[in-house]
Structure 1
Amino acid sequence: MPMETAAPGRPRDQKVGLALKAAALRLVREKGYQNVSVAEILKLSGVARQSLYNRWKTKADLVMEAFFEDAGTRVRPPEFRPGQPARAELERFLNEVFDHLAASDGTLRSLIAAAQADPEFCRLFHDSFVQPREEMVVDFLAEAQRRGELPAGRDPAMLAVFIHGAFWYRLLNGQPMDPALARAIAAAAFGD
C-alpha cells in the first residue's frame, strides 16, 4: 500500500498528513468516495495541494491509507490467547469488524462501488485492503488447524472466502451484521 514517504530535504510535518487523512475519511463517510474531490479534501484540511501530492500519488492512495489506518485502530487481528478458543477469537474479531463497518456509515460500500467503476482503484483496493485482511484470516485459521481447533481437512483459504463472503453479502445488501451473525459465521467455520 502506498504510504507517506519522506523526500530529501526538510522533515515532514506529521500534522499535515493527519489533517489530510482525517479530512478525506470524514468526506468519504459523508458523501461517498466518488462524490469527494481533492479540492474538497484540501479545503477541509486547510492543506496545500502540493503537500498532498508530496505524500500520495492520488486521492485513492490517500483515502485507502486513511481507511486502512482507521480500521487498524478499531479492529484487532485475530490472535491466540491463553484460555481463549480460536472460535471465540474469530467471533470477537468479526464483531469488531461489524462495529467498524457500522461506525464507518457506508464508507466501505462506497469504496466497493468505486472499485467496480475504476479498474486501477479496484487493484489498489484489493491489494491494500482486501487481500491483507483475507491473508490475516487464512493465517489465523491455518494456525487453529495446526493447534487442532479447526478440523483437519477444512481448507483455511476457502473458509476465509466464505467468512468474508457472508458479511460482504450482508453489507452490500444493507442487512444487519450483528453478534448473532458473528456467532453463526464462527460456528460454521469451526464446524460446530
Structure 2
Amino acid sequence: MVSKPAPDATRRSEKSRRAIHAAALSLVAEAGYPKTTVEGIAARAGVGKQTIYRWWSSKADVLLEAFLDLAEQTARPAGHDGTGLETAGIPDTGDLAADLKAVLRATVDELLDPRFAAPARALTAEGVVDERLGRVFVARLLEPRLQLYVARLRSAQDAGHVRPDVDPRIALELFVSPLAQRWLQHTGPITYDYTDTLVDYALYGLAPR
C-alpha cells in the first residue's frame, strides 16, 4: 500500500490567504468599507471566520495587507510599483518639471484604477479614525513613495535646479497633497492637466516672471 504524502499546510494556508485578500478587495469595491465585514470576507473566501482572526485582528488589517499585496503583485514591468512611482526612484532626466509631471500622471492613472481606488480610499479614511492603522498605512505604503520624491528633489538641488535651503519633504507636499485632497474629497476632476499645473505652480510660484 502506497502511503500518501501529508497535506502541505503551508500551501493550504497561502491559498486561503490569497482567497481572503481577494474577497476583502472585491467586497470593499462592491459594498463599500462600512458594509464589509469579517463574516462577509470569510464567506466569500470560503474559510471560517476563525481563520481570519487567526491571522488578522480586524477587517482593516485584512484590507491593508490585501492592498499592499495587490500593489506588489501588479508591479508594472517598466519598473513601476502599484502607485505610479518607479521602485528604483523617480526618473532623473535632468528636467525636474518633466520628471515630476510624468510620475504624477502615472499616479493619476493609479488613482482612477477601480482595482486600487476603493481599497485605497477606504484605508485612507479609516486611518483618520484608527490611529494605529493610519500609522501603519503611512509607514508601509505612503512614506516610502514620498521618499522617492525627496530623493529626486535633492538631486535637483545638487544640480542647482532647486534652492539649497528648500526642505524637499515639505516641498513635495506642494503637488502631492493637493492631488490627494482632491481625490479624497471629490472637489474636482483628477486629470493630467491638473497635475501638470500643480507642478508648474509648485516649481515656479504665483508671482509674475
Q: How many residues align?
A: 184
Alpha-carbon distance between aligned partners in 1 of 2:94 and 2:22, rounded to the nearest angstrom: 35
Alpha-carbon distance between aligned partners in 2 of 1:42 and 1:126, rounded to the nearest angstrom: 27
Over 3 Å counting, the alpha-carbon distance change for 1:82 and 1:169 in structure 2 is closer
Q: CA RMSD in A?
A: 2.7
Match of 1:5 in 2: none
- Residues 1:178 and 2:186 aligned together: no
Paired AA for residue 182 in structure 1? T
Alpha-carbon distance between aligned partners in 2 of 1:90 and 1:64, rounded to the nearest angstrom: 27
TM-score by length of 1: 0.78
- Residues 1:11 and 2:10 aligned together: yes
Alpha-carbon distance between aligned partners in 2 of 1:54 and 1:141, rounded to the nearest angstrom: 43
Are 1:71 and 1:100, in contact at CA under 8 Å, matched by a contact in 2? Answer: no
Alpha-carbon distance between aligned partners in 1 of 2:34 and 2:137, rounded to the nearest angstrom: 14
Once the two structures are TM-superposed, the CA of residue 144 in structure 1 deviates from its matched residue by 3.0
Q: Which runs of 5+ in 2 are unaligned?
A: 1-7, 75-81
Match of 1:69 in 2: 69
Once the two structures are TM-superposed, the CA of residue 81 in structure 1 deviates from its matched residue by 4.4
Alpha-carbon distance between aligned partners in 2 of 1:190 and 1:38, rounded to the nearest angstrom: 46
Percentage identity across aligned positions? Answer: 28
Alpha-carbon distance between aligned partners in 2 of 1:62 and 1:181, rounded to the nearest angstrom: 33
Once the two structures are TM-superposed, the CA of residue 24 in structure 1 deviates from its matched residue by 0.9
Alpha-carbon distance between aligned partners in 2 of 1:82 and 1:25, rounded to the nearest angstrom: 34
Paired AA for residue 85 in structure 2? P
Choose the corresponding residue for 2:174, options 158, 162, 181: 162
Match of 1:115 in 2: 127
| 1:1-192 → structure 2 map (5 Å cutoff) | 10-13=9-12, 14-72=14-72, 73=74, 74-78=82-86, 79-81=89-91, 83=93, 85-104=95-114, 105-174=117-186, 175-191=188-204
TM-score by length of 2: 0.73
Over 3 Å counting, the alpha-carbon distance change for 1:153 and 1:124 in structure 2 is same
Are 2:33 and 2:122, in contact at CA under 8 Å, matched by a contact in 1? Answer: yes
Once the two structures are TM-superposed, the CA of residue 99 in structure 1 deviates from its matched residue by 1.6
Alpha-carbon distance between aligned partners in 1 of 2:93 and 2:134, rounded to the nearest angstrom: 40
Higher relative contact order (CA 8 A, sep 6+): 1
Paired AA for residue 165 in structure 2? G
